[in-house]
A and B are shown apart, each in its own frame.
Chain A
Amino acid sequence: MVTVVLCLTQISQFVLSNIVFKSAPLFDSMGYVILSVCIVIMIFMYLHQILSNVTEEALSLNFDFWFVSSQLIYFLGSFIIFLTFNYLTRKILPAELYSEENRTLLTNLWGVHNVLLFLSSLLTLGSVIWIAFHKKLQSS
């Protein structure tokens, strides 16, 4: 039920922002913030489920757990960047404030977001390799 509500919220925001109001082609902070909040809530729901149903399988060998953890790192780590990026872009856009230095600062900030995305992808990839290695070790 909660998942459905979260998905509907996300779809509504997308429709309102991109189709009904046709906002300016800048970074959609509100959309990304709602998306991040929805995903983080769902991640916490998943983690809560893991905590309440402890199985005999080690969590470190569960791919779902590592995938969800990598998403948590990405969305929680990037949350403030998503929240402020539209504001910062609008701030440097006026002609009197626009400068290459300001643009570089914003590009670097987005670079931090990219590093987080890279880290989360690396974690997912690492978990796949770790689980496969462990299974192979067990079978041999």
Chain B
Amino acid sequence: MDSLSQEIAIILVGSAFFLLVAVGIILLLLIYQKRQLQFILEKHELSNQFQRELLTTRIEAQEETLNQLSRELHDNIGQLLSSSKLLIGVAKRALTSPMEELQLAEETVAKAITELRAMSKSLNKDWLEKFNFIENLTAEAKRINATKEFEMTIRHPEIINLPVEQQLVLFRIVQEAFQNSLKHGKASHISIFVEQRDAHVNVRIEDNGKGFDVSDSSRLGVGMINIKNRAQMLGGSALWQSSKSGTAVAVQIPTQEIIV
């Protein structure tokens, strides 16, 4: 009896040891997996941060190029056109009966100066930052509509709640989208719908252009890549829908996202 009791006691101790081993293995696995998961998440976060920084740098470089272009247009070509207008005026005054063509030339140059200034402003970051997204969009629509070749309509709220930097990036997205519509889609009418709902700003740009095959990745142009990158930088998304009767770009930007 005693010997059996002793044997059973040893068996129980052995079983308890094996049980502890099993529980230990399970706990170690859970802890190890949790740490690994944390490591993977941190790696993803770092990679995302790096991508965002890369995007920000690229977009800053683009902004700088646009600024430079804007300055060149304003200071160089703008000055040349102003001089030309001045010379035409001088020539007009020197003539007792100025030709009708000279009058027309002066008006054309004046129109060119006005359009060039508007374009220069729409490219200049410092100028755009003085106004909000809606004001810039309205000015851009006015500029496009002034050409009489295209028509742009906008439906928008009074104001959108986004930081100034993000409003500028969003404006660049819209600019890029309608430039694509005019340049590649050969559109004559563009509609822009802006709305702020819940924690998102939604912008939809629709045109009546010739459309393109959205599923064909080889058709993904620089403009589309820029739109995607900018939307991604703001933590949002850009989606295209296209048919033979036109293209629509839906941009969604979260209002809570903090720009890097």
Contact = CB atoms under 8 A, between A and B. Distances in A.
A54 interface: yes
A69 interface: yes
A99 interface: yes
B68 interface: no
Given A51-B29, A109-B8, A56 B15 contact: no
Contacts of B15: 77-81, 112, 116
Contacts of B96: none
Contacts of B33: 50-51, 54, 58-59
Given A73-B22, A102-B1, A80 B34 contact: no
Contacts of A51: 29, 32-33
A76 B4 contact: no
A89 to B, nearest CB: 11
A88 B8 contact: yes
Interface string A37-74: 00000000001001100101011100001000100110
Question: Interface size class for chain B?
Answer: 20 to 34
Contacts, number: 72
A105 B5 contact: yes
* A interface secondary structure, majority: helix
A96 to B, nearest CB: 12
A101 B1 CA distance: 8
A16 B21 CA distance: 32
A109 B18 contact: no
Interface string B20-38: 0111011001101110110
A69 B26 contact: yes
A56 B43 CA distance: 12
A108 B15 CA distance: 14
A3 interface: no
A54 to B, nearest CB: 4
B11 interface: yes
Interface of B: 1, 4-5, 7-8, 11-12, 14-15, 18-19, 21-23, 25-26, 29-30, 32-34, 36-37, 40-41
Interface of A: 47, 50-51, 54, 56, 58-60, 65, 69, 72-73, 76-81, 84, 88, 91-92, 99, 101-102, 105-106, 108-109, 112, 116
8 contacts: A56-B37, A58-B33, A59-B33, A72-B22, A73-B22, A76-B18, A77-B15, A99-B1
